[in-house]
Structure 1
């Protein structure tokens, strides 16, 4: 049904069988009559990330310009596909993704636990990936330029449920522009295999890892700017003020002599200034979201290379 709803603007359809125990690939081959469809088989189950990467590599090998990912469970309307492709065709973005939170009407049918979980994950993703302008990071309805995919280490992408977030992190490392596309989702009787209690500790550790890596790349290695100074001095003042205050607080509790007002100020002032510096760094980071599509520069470089080799 998903394949049947895909419009004529699509040149090739890749159906990825990720070692499906129900034989979805064979089912498609037996019942499909669309000549655009090509079934890809993974020799072992690689998760959503591994399945998507398989489709990405096939599209890149065939010279496809834009790849759109649509899940096969019917929650993503294929008729919305032109809306995802349009920002890429117009040179406004390198990667577009769905946003189910854009309109109040869009979330009316969403289960409350999913609504709360996606809100929390969205904020964590903004911190770790640097795309403060996007929402709903776990949304898998996406479109991307293959010239941008060529710049990413596809084999290093997360294979399981963290794939969409890791994709945003990798896109930020190449300064790709990401744009949200408003959409509605359909929730039927299907059950998700995602268990919040199981993946929450894993997600938190991976978000912290990518937050540190993004900071290290963007503010220490690739560039050293005012945001770097805000973060370094803010952290130094906050830690020093906290340690100083904690030491004198412990001394006063053991000696029964209260700390003087000067000691309190020496502890509080660095903490307050440090917090202000960290807020300034956060403001700088929010304003540092990529705005110039990297695909334009990549295509321009490719055209220049072809022009220089022509007779």
Structure 2
């Protein structure tokens, strides 16, 4: 089935001159185009590719005059792939961590019409987790949970994975000018895909952590990712439950948030006030603080359950073409 689809692989390149040529040479024969985007790389990875892989007729190297980030490089490559007539576009990192043969794994479900988008999942095999540095593992886990909530794709276990395949029709419908250009690109892409109700499928993939240097600092990225996920999460909830539709979960959110906030604020204010006066809170004050919190949290948990069950589960690319 995959042979009947034209597949383009997009390779964002930045400080990966030592690994990118091997990635290009290792890509499966089913790939029709390999589009490497040199994102103003100080190592001139694009030139290295032309020198070492220039005889590969599938290889196309594009150059950015200014660094745009991994998202900007990916968007440039994907747009070019669409112009070439690709049916499926696969983005893979150029640092050699991802097995190039996994391109077929993520493209296959889309080629068969089973999914609109496929994301790699590094966490399917516990043995692979031993290779991942503990700080990176903890950071990825935290970022993944935040992305699940902000994007609405609770079924995607590794949303920040750099291996992603997308049907051409879905990419055409995305607001390219609104997509994040840097490291938040992977998470922001899922948020935009949710607004199109695209079905995203998890696909197990292998990773190898070697001598490559990660361009992303977990310590510096978590605050930025946290704030941007909060932004996207609020946008998604407002659009999903109050603009595009209004349902039981909408009421649960409307009632649950004020109740929880009232109980929390009243409880803290009462506790602080009584502490200054050297008195204990009465049973009535405790109940007035705790009951709204309990009811509010129950309502919000019910809304969360509906949100989890509402993750898109049906491919839509057939209705877009």
> Could you state the TM-score of these two structures normalised by the residue count of structure 1?
0.91
User: How far apart in 2 are the matches of 1:259 and 1:108?
Assistant: 50
Alpha carbons 1:106, 1:183 under 8 Å: kept: no
Deviations 1:41-92 (A, max 9, x none): 1121111001100111101112211001122221111112211111111222
Aligned position for 1:21: 42
CA 1:111/1:244 → structure 2, altered by over 3 Å: closer, same or farther? closer
Alpha carbons 2:253, 2:303 under 8 Å: kept: yes
Aligned position for 1:192: 214
Aligned position for 1:5: 26
Alpha carbons 2:170, 2:317 under 8 Å: kept: yes
Aligned position for 1:42: 64
User: How far apart in 1 are the matches of 2:138 and 2:77?
Assistant: 31
RMSD across aligned C-alpha pairs, in angstroms?
1.7
Q: Which SS does the other structure have where 2:304 is aligned? A: helix
Alpha carbons 1:125, 1:165 under 8 Å: kept: yes
User: How far apart in 2 are the matches of 1:258 and 1:25?
Assistant: 70
Matched, 1:227 2:245: no
User: How far apart in 1 are the matches of 2:29 and 2:232?
Assistant: 39
Matched, 1:280 2:302: yes
Give ranges in structure 1 of 5+ residues lacking alignment: 300-311
Alpha carbons 1:100, 1:136 under 8 Å: kept: yes
**Structure 1 residue 10: Cα displacement:** 1.2
**Structure 1 residue 261: Cα displacement:** 2.5
Give ranges in structure 2 of 5+ residues lacking alignment: 1-21
* Aligned counterparts, 1:287-306, within 5 A: 287-299=309-321
User: How far apart in 1 are the matches of 2:99 and 2:274?
Assistant: 65
> Could you state the TM-score of these two structures normalised by the residue count of structure 2?
0.88
Aligned position for 1:303: none
Query: Structure 1 stretches (4+) deviating beyond 3 angstroms?
Result: 243-260
**Structure 1 residue 23: Cα displacement:** 2.0
Aligned length: 299
Alpha carbons 2:96, 2:208 under 8 Å: kept: yes
Q: Which has the larger radius of gyration?
A: 1
**Structure 1 residue 108: Cα displacement:** 2.1
Aligned position for 1:95: 117
